[in-house]
Amino acid sequence: MALATGTLQWEIDATGNVIERAILQSIEDCGTSITAAKLILPRVHGYVVRNDFFHRRFLTCSLAEKVLDCIPLQQFIPAFDVNANDVLQRGMKGAVGAILLKPIPGFSTDLVKSALAILEEETDARLSFSWILETPLPRKRIAMIDGRPNPSVSTASQGIYRAVQALGVDLVVLDSAGHWVQDSTMEDMRDEFIPCDLKMDEGLVDRIVAALSTSKGRIDGITTYTDTHILATAQAARKMGLPANPPEALEMCRDKYKTRSFASSGVPVLSVTNIADLDEQLRQLSSPLEFPLIVKPTTGCASDGVSKVTCEAELCGAVQRNEEKFPGTNALVEPYVSGPEVDANFVIVDGKLIWSEINDDFPSSAEMSTSTSPSMSFAELSTIMPSMLPESEISLLKSSLTQTLLKMGFRNGVYHLEARVKDSKKTYTDTGRGMELADNTVQSSTTNPSVFLIEINPRLPGHQESFAVEYTYGIDYFALQMLLATAPPVSEMESDKGKTFKNAILALSHPLAETAQYPSHIVFIPADRGGTFGGAKPLPGGIMDYVPEHAIFTQAGEVIPDPEEEGKWPFVAYFLVMGKIAGRGWQAREQVRAVGDILRKTFIYEMA
């Protein structure tokens, strides 16, 4: 449908009359260009899976000026009859969504037809699957432990609250009194706020249960998006008879020594409290440890306190630093396994893997360290998706890591794992254009690759990676974790309500077709020195054309301790770089990698 139009101003109302109003306004404006609007009409009866479904599926559609969702949740959608009269009028009334094409200068109808043909292909790539539910997804009341920072000042919670509103979840937030979401002006963000002391101590689980017992309505599930509260959340859910990951498995994931002992039983690892304990355990070994080794806290995150050591003196120094910087936390001593590192994200429902993706985690500064350019930082620098590893190694990672999760007892959830491919056919190399995976010419053709698990995080990946996954694949991990917090038991999974739940998860786990998948590059900027942050210089506009999401984490005037002394490299900023070439070809990958490298070199911040 092509219209002569000027600048259109509209807003969505409950009746979906936005297209009709747009036409009337375009006639009134008598513009000098052609804009085409594409209507999305339902072929079957049912209910939309989320109320911003089309907007989220077309995030990377470069032809779309605006994407509209016209049908609210739990409103019945009748199938559209193309054979009845008044097709155009009924189409405007019955559209479940619409796409406004970017304005095309002049009045060339051939150009408009060509653009609409391409948009049709884009629509097929993004919507060719069952996304209309036969019955409405039951409205659920879910408690979230830790309300997270305000979305207006932090990107960390934007995806969470967006998913809550899109799914029609009645959210109950537990956090300390005075939290921003408790304010009466934030009532549209949640259904209820319950003050609760979330201090990490032995009484936390009972306090959560007691707080939820005062809720004004029945609680259907409990979830959290913070590492620190995962175990307590599951224990509280078990006490209340609600769906939860097995607390025993979560305990194992929280302690990296327990994880390593379970998942890599043949790998020699130590968990030591101090230098004296290290000496005692080394004496008891039947054979000496082989260097290089990795030393890190058994419980920790964000690569804090991770060290690579090449001799016994360095080993003792790393254990000593761990004791000083992380009192009360043992140090894990394990072999350093070379090979490409990956992030692996899995969605499991009823013990079955329904979605997974692997992305490449580029070497840290410590791994690229040389005598002329030394570094102790294991902070992340770059993550690119999709992975460029061979398909055989991707399949190996998915199979091995899924089996580990199931063996530990996980059945429903979103899981984020980190691993390496030992003896991979690929290795990171300076190609002259930058660091990239290339053929491993020194690897023996007779040695088979194997998976070395680094850690298991029984939750979605960090928000930066979660954003990238949605842009590249169309999968919203925030929404999936929220729904999986109410996963019905196996005995009910095939009931009518269980089928609706499973169909909703399947719809939200359906990726974009490869022709609509644009590679993404997450560029992390860790602090490389201590001091008082003075701000960052703006990046060139051409670079920012590739950046749909970014954040400067450090505020002007904020003091950052010396990372080398603290063993912590906090992120100053991050940028999500999206390519403009779709698919898994070399050109698409090279574009997004190169733009990210340029961004890193041109991002300058001041430190006094």
Q: Is 341 in a helix, a strand, or coil? A: strand
The pLDDT of residue 228: 93
Given strand 331-335, what is the order of strands in its sheet?
A: 270-272, 331-335, 293-297, 307-309
The pLDDT of residue 14: 35
What's 36's DSSP letter?
A: E
The answer to whether 145 touches 229, Cβ cutoff 8 Å, is yes
% pLDDT > 90, the chain: 69
Report the CATH architecture of 520-607: Alpha-Beta Complex (3.90)
Please tell me the pTM assigned to this model.
0.92
The answer to whether 171 touches 188, Cβ cutoff 8 Å, is no
With cut-offs at 50, 70 and 90, classify the pLDDT of residue 492. Answer: confident
Q: Please write the tens of the pLDDT for every residue from 124-133.
A: 999 999 999 9
With cut-offs at 50, 70 and 90, classify the pLDDT of residue 86. Answer: confident
CA distance 398 to 302: 23
The pLDDT of residue 7: 36
In the chain, the largest separation of any two C-alpha atoms, in whole Å, equals 87
Q: Please write the tens of the pLDDT for every residue from 509-531.
A: 999 999 999 999 999 999 999 99
The pLDDT of residue 93: 81
More confident residue, 358 or 112: 358
DSSP symbols for 219-266: --EEEESSGGGHHHHHHHHHHTT-----HHHHHHHHSHHHHHHHH-TT
CA distance 514 to 386: 11
2 pLDDT more than 50: no
* CA proximity to 535, closest of 461, 605, 453, 477: 605
CA distance 113 to 499: 41
* CA proximity to 82, closest of 39, 34, 134: 39
* Amino acid letter, residue 455: E
181 pLDDT more than 70: yes
CA distance 68 to 78: 18
With cut-offs at 50, 70 and 90, classify the pLDDT of residue 13. Answer: very low
The pLDDT of residue 316: 93
The answer to whether 556 touches 534, Cβ cutoff 8 Å, is yes
Q: Please write the tens of the pLDDT for every residue from 294-353.
A: 999 998 776 778 888 999 999 999 999 888 888 889 999 988 888 999 999 999 999 999
The pLDDT of residue 202: 94
- Name the residue ranges covered by the structural domains of the chain: 18-133, 520-607
Mean pLDDT taken over the chain: 90
Of 66-75, 253-262, 363-372, 513-522, where does mean pLDDT reach its minimum?
363-372
- Is the four-CA dihedral 348, 349, 350, 354 of positive or negative sign? negative
Over residues 471-486, the mean pLDDT reads 97
Over residues 43-59, the mean pLDDT reads 95
Residue with token string 């254990």: 319
Q: Which of 26-30, 80-84, 308-312 has the highest mean pLDDT?
A: 308-312
Question: Which string of b and e fits 236-245 if b means at least 16 CB within 10 Å?
Answer: bbbebebbbb
With cut-offs at 50, 70 and 90, classify the pLDDT of residue 605. Answer: very high
| Backbone φ, ψ for residue 392 (5° rounding) | -65, -35
CA distance 168 to 72: 10
* CA proximity to 138, closest of 73, 42, 193: 73
Q: Which residues pair with 560 in a beta bridge?
A: 531
